[in-house]
Amino acid sequence: MQVSKVQLVALLLLLSCGMYSHGSKILVIAPLAGKSHWQFFGEIIKTLADHGHQITSLTSMPMISHNNVTEIDIEFDMSPLIPNTFENRGWWAGFSMMAKVPGMCTEALSRKNVRDIKIEEYDLVFISLFVNDCFFGLLDNTEVPVISMSPNTLVTTFHDIVGNVDFPSFVPMMTLPMKHPMTFTQRLLNTLANLFSYALTKFYYHPSIEKACKDAGLCPRDMRSIQDIAAKSAFVFINNVQALETPVRPYVPAVIHAGGLNCRPAQPLPEDLASWIEGSGDAGTIYFSLGSIVKPKDMPENFREVFVKVFATLPQRVIWKWDEASMPGLPPNVKLAKWLPQQDILGHPKVHLFITHGGLFSTLEAIYHAVPILGFPVFADQGSNMIKSTADGIAETIEWDDLTEELLNNTVQKMLTDLKYQKTVNHRSQLMRDQPMSPRDVVVYWTEYAIRHKGAPHLQSPVKGMAWYQIYNVDVWLSLIVFSIACLYLDMKIIIAVVRRCCYRTKTTGELKKKKE
């Protein structure tokens, strides 16, 4: 029987629709997340939706328009978590955020549209590891596979979730101004900082969230600990490119590197931006943006004046992301804009330098598009991102308290004239792009793998069920040391006894000879 072309096309369409309709139902829980974090979570959602999966997203920041995506907006204001980034710079900003999380998370969990969610209706659940800790209570006593998401890398207790072993001996803790190789003092401080962070999370942060949740009647009194519930995660998807890690480090199979999801080839720029950059001539253009969390209007006036004065002296044109249409003393070579297509700008060949706050997403995009970085870290992981980028040779870092016209001008001139920055970032860009699978393929494959294999328990690390002293063989080494000391003690006792015996016999023999004489 012959099949016409029309019938063949119809059959293929029918088959494709059938495959499409068999997509899994996936719930994504990330209601307490900033706009930058959604660059990672949102790309995971869109990637899976493009492959036919039906996604329900629990969010406070609806932004995805897709036929396969349903967004549940809990209408929650995240701004109180970080009111002013310039006033809350430094390591202590993390403690301020930590104190606010139990109340905020519990309030978000109490929303009716959250309580109406039935986890058992889904084939898989994604959940964010940052700030959304109380939502793990929804996942207690369920057999639905879980994948945790980190918009950064693994930190402290995140390792325990998948049984990964952390190595403070050569991996500097995020937020600490250290790089590999570390001195003895740095390794000591790094170890103590890791222990402090771990203890703070395990004995204060998580218990306070659990208490707030139980006191509000949102979590059962007999609920397992957040850490134990999180440990059921089949995988942890991290926003990290393994080829760019310095130093390289070991991972268990449950740690999935999906870094660079936010990166894409540059698209043509709007006419006004394209003409502005093209008109910069051989001098080129500098792009200045402090990301989505750092508000430009919060920048102290003395800092703003330094940038304005230095930019005015440069032959380059500057595109500056600013939240007002104008500013006092704006030089003619500077263009302001409230919103900018960052990757399309970074991908333009005449953009020679990126001045940034050092956020991970901006850093990855700069590497992807091979643009050297001048970093001004404000808070959180931005400092460690810039320490790493500077150590890798693709960046320079200026602390806000050190900012002067001379320092800024000298650093900009150095980075624009010394070709080593461009050469190094070109190489890093090649490493980032040269991967066996694209980040999107990685997300699809391992998500569907977790669904197919019911959470992939066969890939779970045995470290999950081991105490810390067993993992590092502390009890074995102590036993060997005690045994060795005991053996040494016995050997010494035997030697002493033999020596005494010999001395006694010699003495006795001598006395007998004297008596005979």
User: Which domain-ending residue is among 382, 413, 433?
Assistant: 433
CA distances from 366 to 8, 213, 251, 340 (A): 46, 40, 26, 15
Both 319 and 446 in one domain: the answer is no
Both 93 and 152 in one domain: the answer is yes
Both 319 and 235 in one domain: the answer is no
Both 463 and 483 in one domain: the answer is no
- Report the pLDDT value the prediction gives residue 11, as an integer from 0 to 100: 42
Q: Any idea what the CATH number is for the domain that residue 153 is in?
A: 3.40.50.2300
Task: Supply the Cα-derived Rg of the chain in whole angstroms.
Answer: 30
- Report the pLDDT value the prediction gives residue 383, as an integer from 0 to 100: 86
**Is residue 180 situated within a structural domain?**
no
User: Token match 């003495």: residue?
Assistant: 507
What region does 316 belong to: left with phi over 0, alpha with psi -120 to 50, or beta? beta
User: Token match 């704006």: residue?
Assistant: 330
- Report the pLDDT value the prediction gives residue 194, as an integer from 0 to 100: 92
Q: Locate all alpha helices (DSSP H) within 216-293, ordered by sequence.
A: 226-230, 271-278
Both 229 and 363 in one domain: the answer is no
DSSP conformation class of 80: G
- Report the pLDDT value the prediction gives residue 14, as an integer from 0 to 100: 40
Cβ contacts of residue 410 below 8 Å, gap of 6+? none
- Report the pLDDT value the prediction gives residue 10, as an integer from 0 to 100: 43
pLDDT-flagged residues of the chain (< 70):
1-22, 82-95, 504-517
**Is residue 372 situated within a structural domain?**
yes
Both 142 and 121 in one domain: the answer is yes
Say how many domains are in the chain: 3
DSSP conformation class of 205: I
pTM above 0.85, yes or no: yes
Both 335 and 378 in one domain: the answer is yes
Q: Any idea what the CATH number is for the domain that residue 283 is in?
A: 3.40.50.2000
**Is residue 301 situated within a structural domain?**
yes
Boundaries of domain holding 480 = 475-504
CA distances from 499 to 247, 360, 495, 504, 511 (A): 55, 69, 6, 8, 18
**Is residue 336 situated within a structural domain?**
yes
Both 65 and 120 in one domain: the answer is yes
What region does 108 belong to: left with phi over 0, alpha with psi -120 to 50, or beta? alpha
Both 383 and 485 in one domain: the answer is no
**Is residue 94 situated within a structural domain?**
yes
CA distances from 508 to 146, 413, 495 (A): 82, 91, 20
Both 393 and 493 in one domain: the answer is no
Q: How far apart are CA 340 and CA 317, in angstroms?
A: 15
- Report the pLDDT value the prediction gives residue 46, as an integer from 0 to 100: 97
- Report the pLDDT value the prediction gives residue 389, as an integer from 0 to 100: 94
Both 46 and 138 in one domain: the answer is yes
Both 225 and 336 in one domain: the answer is no
- Report the pLDDT value the prediction gives residue 12, as an integer from 0 to 100: 44
**Is residue 284 situated within a structural domain?**
yes
Structure tokens at 402: 């050190």
